[in-house]
A and B are shown apart, each in its own frame.
Chain A
Amino acid sequence: QKEVEQDPGPLSVPEGAIVSLNCTYSNSAFQYFMWYRQYSRKGPELLMYTYSSGNKEDGRFTAQVDKSSKYISLFIRDSQPSDSATYLCAMSGATGFQKLVFGTGTRLLVSP
C-alpha cells in the first residue's frame, strides 16, 4: 500500500464548476500537507500548504486537512481553463530533514 493515495483522473469539468481533489494517507507522522500544480513538462509549483488539521483559503483555492480520517482535500471555486493541469498532493513530517511524499497526481481538465 502506498503512503499517499490519489485518484489519477482525469477529472473533466465545465468552466465555472467547483472542483474537489482528494488524497488519503497512512503515515500518522505527516504534519505538513501541500498541494502542488504541475503543467505539462514543467516542474511542480506550490499552491498551498497546511500545518496539521484545519482549513486554509487563498483566493479561489481552499485546502482542508482531517488528520483523524487521514484525508486531505483541495477545492477550486469558479474553475477556469487555465486551471487545467495535474494537481499533486504532498506530505512531510515536521522535524529534521524532510522529504516530500507525493500522491500520483490528479489530471484536471476544465473546458470552456
Chain B
Amino acid sequence: DAGVTQSPTHLIKTRGQQVTLRCSPKSGHDTVSWYQQALGQGPQFIFQYYEEEERQRGNFPDRFSGHQFPNYSSELNVNALLLGDSALYLCASSLRGVSYNEQFFGPGTRLTVL
C-alpha cells in the first residue's frame, strides 16, 4: 500500500516564475491538505481539498492556489514566486468521516526560489 507521494522531490525556480507541485494521497483517502514548512519552522497550513473543492484556507495570499482531481490527487500552484516562498511543501491526506481523521504526510517537495 503506497503512502502519500509527491513530485517533484526538488525544484529550483527564479523570482516571478510559477510552479506546480503534485500529490497523490494514500490509498482510500479522500481529503488532501497542503502545508508549507520553512527552514527551522513547523508546517503552516495552506489549504485543504475535499470533493474537488477548497474547504478551508490558511493565511496565504491568492498566489497560492490548488486543485483536487476526481481520483483525489491534488496540485498546488504558486504564481509570481518570491524568495520567501522557498520551503518544503508537504502534502497530507486523510479520510473524512471517521472520528479522528489522521493526516498522513508525504516526503515533501523542496522548492528553492533564486
A positions within 8 Å CB-CB of B? 4, 6, 8, 32, 36, 41-46, 49, 51, 88, 90, 97-105
Stretch of B14-22, B37-45, B68-76, B79-87 with 4 or more beta carbons under 8 angstroms from chain A: B37-45
The answer to whether A43 and B45 touch across the interface, beta carbons within 8 angstroms, is no
Cα-based distance from A66 to B85 in the complex (angstroms): 36
Name which residue of chain A comes closest to B55, CB basis.
A97
- Chain B residues near A44 (CB-CB < 8 A): 43, 90, 105
The answer to whether B45 and A99 touch across the interface, beta carbons within 8 angstroms, is yes
B positions within 8 Å CB-CB of A? 4, 31, 33, 35, 40-45, 48, 50, 55-56, 58, 90, 92, 96, 100-108, 110
Cα-based distance from A36 to B37 in the complex (angstroms): 14
The answer to whether B45 and A51 touch across the interface, beta carbons within 8 angstroms, is no
Cα-based distance from A102 to B46 in the complex (angstroms): 12
Name which residue of chain B comes closest to A51, CB basis.
B100
**A32-B100, A44-B90, A49-B100 as given contacts; A102 in contact with B107, CB under 8 Å:** no
The answer to whether B40 and A104 touch across the interface, beta carbons within 8 angstroms, is yes
Cα-based distance from A101 to B108 in the complex (angstroms): 18
Query: Chain B's nearest CB lies how many Å from the CB of A46?
Result: 6
Cross-chain pairs A/B with CB under 8 angstroms, 21 sampled: A4-B42, A8-B40, A32-B100, A41-B108, A41-B110, A43-B90, A43-B107, A44-B90, A44-B105, A46-B104, A97-B31, A97-B48, A97-B96, A98-B101, A99-B58, A100-B43, A101-B45, A102-B35, A102-B42, A105-B40, A105-B42
Query: Chain B's nearest CB lies how many Å from the CB of A41?
Result: 8
- Chain A residues near B48 (CB-CB < 8 A): 97, 99
Cα-based distance from A99 to B33 in the complex (angstroms): 8
**A32-B100, A49-B102 as given contacts; A103 in contact with B42, CB under 8 Å:** yes
Query: Chain B's nearest CB lies how many Å from the CB of A8?
Result: 7
Name which residue of chain B comes closest to A2, CB basis.
B42
Query: Chain A's nearest CB lies how many Å from the CB of B37?
Result: 8
Query: Chain A's nearest CB lies how many Å from the CB of B41?
Result: 6
The answer to whether A42 and B100 touch across the interface, beta carbons within 8 angstroms, is no
> Which of B4, B56, B90 is close to A97, meaning CB atoms less than 8 Å apart?
B56
